[in-house]
Amino acid sequence: MANRFYVKVAIILNGLSGKKRLFYSRLLPAINEVAEAQVFETQSATDAFNFSVKAVSQNFDVVIAAGGDGTINQVVNGMLQSGFPPEKLPALSILPVGSGNDLARTVNIDLKADALKKRLIQKNIKPIDIGSVTFQRHGNECHAYFINVCSAGMGPEVLNYMRSGGKTLGAAIAYYIAILTTFSTYKCMPVTIKTAGWQWKDSLRSLAMGNGKYFGSGLCIAPDAKPDDGEFGTFICGAVSVLDFVRYTNTLKTGGKISNPKIEYRSANALELTSESPCRIEADGELLGFLPARVEVIPQRINFLY
């Protein structure tokens, strides 16, 4: 025990992860060399939330979300809704063993066992921002947190399509097919965005507010976003055609900025969103509800172990 930096590490593992065998055979033994770990393996959609609340109440030093962006989202919401003040929360870290691992791309975390041990030993902990979103669901005002990207417009419709289509072709391919399919049916609608420094009103195809840079399995929609700068990198896509979008896909995947008068890159720390027709909103790949919504940054809300 004397050579172990952390006394207690809670690992919340997505029980449906396709990399579960890798986790138990290589990653968990590496963690056990430098920490005392307890694994909580999810079996249902609410388990990650509940396990993270339990980890906070049991005074774990680090909570590792082992899964994709959805698992991380549930862990973050559990920690922040646990009722404990920020200074009492464990540090958060991630293991990208899910189907969508966009946050891991921003914070540059991979699955190498040696790098994982190094992270736990070196104690590179920094406070990062969290997103807060208030939205409408079944006529009621609801609230959630997110750590990576919140989007409105076509993005949530793509997720809604994927719910029925599954991910049998792999996350990236399935998401790309869902985008092209949704493009043919999605109708751009007037949306108003209000911030303290600027406003936007037009027909919207997609809006993404990024604490991280990537969403949709590797699409870089917020190349200037930093998870600790107190602002969202905001991507606004007006009524571009499906042909234009296909042409821009490589630019999004390589981290470049699209040059098109209907596409804008902005920054904001709080946004008010309204629409004239029902417009869905999602966060970290989790469908939430509909506009109107308020999306804002909570600066340096959680400690992150890099």
Residues 147 and 295 in one domain: yes
Residues 152 and 286 in one domain: yes
Residues 158 and 92 in one domain: no
Residue 1 carries which DSSP code? Answer: -
Q: How far is CA 204 from CA 74, 227, 261, in A?
A: 28, 25, 13
Residues 109 and 196 in one domain: no
Q: Count the neighbouring beta carbons within 10 Å of the beta carbon of residue 110.
A: 11
Kindly report the pTM of this predicted structure: 0.94
Q: Say if residues 39 and 28 touch (Cβ distance below 8 Å).
A: yes
For the stretch 36-88, pLDDT in tens is: 999 999 999 999 999 999 999 999 999 999 999 999 999 999 999 999 999 99
Q: Which of 123, 146, 166 is the last residue of a domain?
A: 123
- Domain count within the chain: 2
Q: Copy the structure tokens of residue 243.
A: 């042909």
Residues 143 and 269 in one domain: yes
Instruction: Specify if 1 maps to a domain.
Output: no
Residues 182 and 158 in one domain: yes
Range name among 32-46, 100-114, 176-190, 233-247 with the lowest pLDDT average:
176-190
Residues 72 and 137 in one domain: no
Q: Which of 123, 147, 178 is the last residue of a domain?
A: 123
For the stretch 89-99, pLDDT in tens is: 999 999 999 98
Residues 117 and 205 in one domain: no
pLDDT of 60: 97
Residues 107 and 190 in one domain: no
Residues 119 and 187 in one domain: no
> What is the residue range of 251's domain?
130-300
Residues 153 and 269 in one domain: yes
Share of the chain above pLDDT 90, in %: 85
- Give the confidence band of 2 by pLDDT, cuts at 50, 70, 90: very low
Instruction: Specify if 305 maps to a domain.
Output: no
- The mean per-residue pLDDT over the stretch 130-135 comes to 99
Residue 136 has pLDDT above 60, yes or no: yes
Instruction: Specify if 194 maps to a domain.
Output: yes
Residue 1 has pLDDT above 80, yes or no: no
pLDDT of 243: 85
How big is the chain, counted in residues?
306
Residues 93 and 177 in one domain: no
Closest CA to 96 of 80, 88, 107: 107
CATH of the domain at 141: 2.60.200.40
CATH of the domain at 60: 3.40.50.10330
Q: Which of 123, 148, 173 is the last residue of a domain?
A: 123
pLDDT of 165: 65
